[in-house]
Amino acid sequence: MAKGFRSDLSRRERQIMDILYRQGRASAAEVLAGLPDPPGYSAVRALLRILEEKGHVRHEGEGKRYVYLPMQPRQNAAQSALRQVLHTFFGGSIENAVATLLSDQDTQLSEEELARLADLIDQAREGEKQP
Amino acid sequence: MAKGFRSDLSRRERQIMDILYRQGRASAAEVLAGLPDPPGYSAVRALLRILEEKGHVRHEGEGKRYVYLPMQPRQNAAQSALRQVLHTFFGGSIENAVATLLSDQDTQLSEEELARLADLIDQAREGEKQP
DNA sequence: GCTGTCATGCTAAAATTTTAGCATTACCTT
DNA sequence: AAGGTAATGCTAAAATTTTAGCATGACAGC
């Protein structure tokens, strides 16, 4: 799987991969429901088949219908996506990215969430100190 | 500007926008140099013109050549990109995203960077406590 | 059995994207 | 002046993506 595979995807391919990662797995009908400016059912199925041919997706039978899953593990894809955003918009800086998130009204954290985040940082610092 | 405008861009459009955000501004030649599997110079120019027609980009004369800049401010685009990744891969959770970054070998933080990050969280907690 | 609904496999046309090339201009160097 | 290089404006063809529709199969309900 190419490093920047998400930027190698066409518009619709990308939209579909995002739905599959968000939901973990989805039928063609579920993918259709999640698409912006959705085409018809058969258009979605054709795209899913293409994504499968390209190796980005696989399907499993579930009852009498297919359900599609991303081939690349979620964790890998998530890391890759995060790195790409850091690189593109934040010069690679985690600090700047976190600052942006913390200052963003739409992603406001509760007291409890901030506490857990602080714990996370502390653990990373402890791990850093022990050689 | 549509909310998820990056997922509305075609493959090459998206690659070009990312270069413009990373570099802040770029000539056609610079964009060309940054593209994976690059086409010819005139292909890049044509794409920049299309992006400009669509309103994503504007150009300024700089000496005897054009330099292109994104229309949407970097901060907005950055926030939007981060939110999209959070939503797609982390169920909207900042904590999970930060945990992933901290556990990622490729984005390892120094002691000093962790300290600054901890400060950032503390400031957000202070801000949270004062009504 | 028939009808309706949901599904798949497949095709190919429509739409969009991507690409390169031509004509022209502006310079620098010989 | 001629040649070379870099640039722009523009066009349209090539390539790719996106889309819908047909044929078929599997069920369920009447």
**What is residue A89's predicted lDDT score, i.e. its pLDDT?**
96
The whole-number average pLDDT for the span A103-119 is 86
B94–A109: do the CB atoms touch at under 8 Å?
A: yes
Checking if the pLDDT of A79 tops 70, the result is yes
Query: Of B2 and A93, which is predicted with more confidence?
Result: A93
Which pLDDT tens digit goes with each residue over B62-110? 888 899 999 999 999 999 999 999 999 999 999 999 999 998 877 778 8
Which pLDDT tens digit goes with each residue over A9-40? 999 999 999 999 999 999 999 999 999 999 99
Length of chain B equals: 131
Checking if the pLDDT of A78 tops 90, the result is yes
**What is residue B23's predicted lDDT score, i.e. its pLDDT?**
95
Which pLDDT tens digit goes with each residue over B32-70? 999 999 999 999 999 999 999 999 999 999 888 899 999
How much is the mean pLDDT over chain A? 89
Integer Cα distance of B8 and A10 in angstroms: 9
> Within 13 A of A41's CA, how many CA atoms are on the CB side?
4
Integer Cα distance of A105 and A100 in angstroms: 10
The answer to whether some atom of strand D lies closer than 7 Å to the beta carbon of B48 is no
Please report, for chain B, the start and end positions of each structural domain, with discontinuous segments joined by +: 5-70, 93-131
**What is residue B129's predicted lDDT score, i.e. its pLDDT?**
63
A90–B78: do the CB atoms touch at under 8 Å?
A: yes
The answer to whether some atom of strand C lies closer than 7 Å to the beta carbon of A16 is no
- Whether A93 and A86 have beta carbons less than 8 Å apart is answered as yes
Q: Where are the beta strands (DSSP E) in chain B?
A: 26-27, 57-62, 65-70
**What is residue A69's predicted lDDT score, i.e. its pLDDT?**
96
The whole-number average pLDDT for the span A107-123 is 88
**What is residue A128's predicted lDDT score, i.e. its pLDDT?**
63
| Residues of chain A numbered 22-81 and touching chain B (CB < 8 Å) | 22, 36, 74-75, 77-79, 81
Integer Cα distance of B74 and A88 in angstroms: 10
The whole-number average pLDDT for the span A85-106 is 91
Q: pLDDT band at A3, cuts 50/70/90?
A: very low
The whole-number average pLDDT for the span B10-34 is 95
What angle do the packed helices A11-23 and A74-89 form, to 10 degrees?
Answer: 120
Beta bridge partners of A69: A58
HEC per residue, A7-46: HHCCHHHHHHHHHHHHHCCEEHHHHHHHCCCCCCHHHHHH
**What is residue B1's predicted lDDT score, i.e. its pLDDT?**
38
Residues 6+ away with beta carbon under 8 Å from A48: A16, A28, A31, A57, A59, A68
HEC per residue, B88-120: HHCCCCHHHHHHHHHHCHHHCCCHHHHHHHHHH
B97–A82: do the CB atoms touch at under 8 Å?
A: yes
- The spacing between the Cα labelled CA in B108 and the C1' in C18, in angstroms, equals 38
* 3.30.365.10, 1.10.10.10, 1.10.3720.10, 3.90.550.10: CATH of B5-70: 1.10.10.10
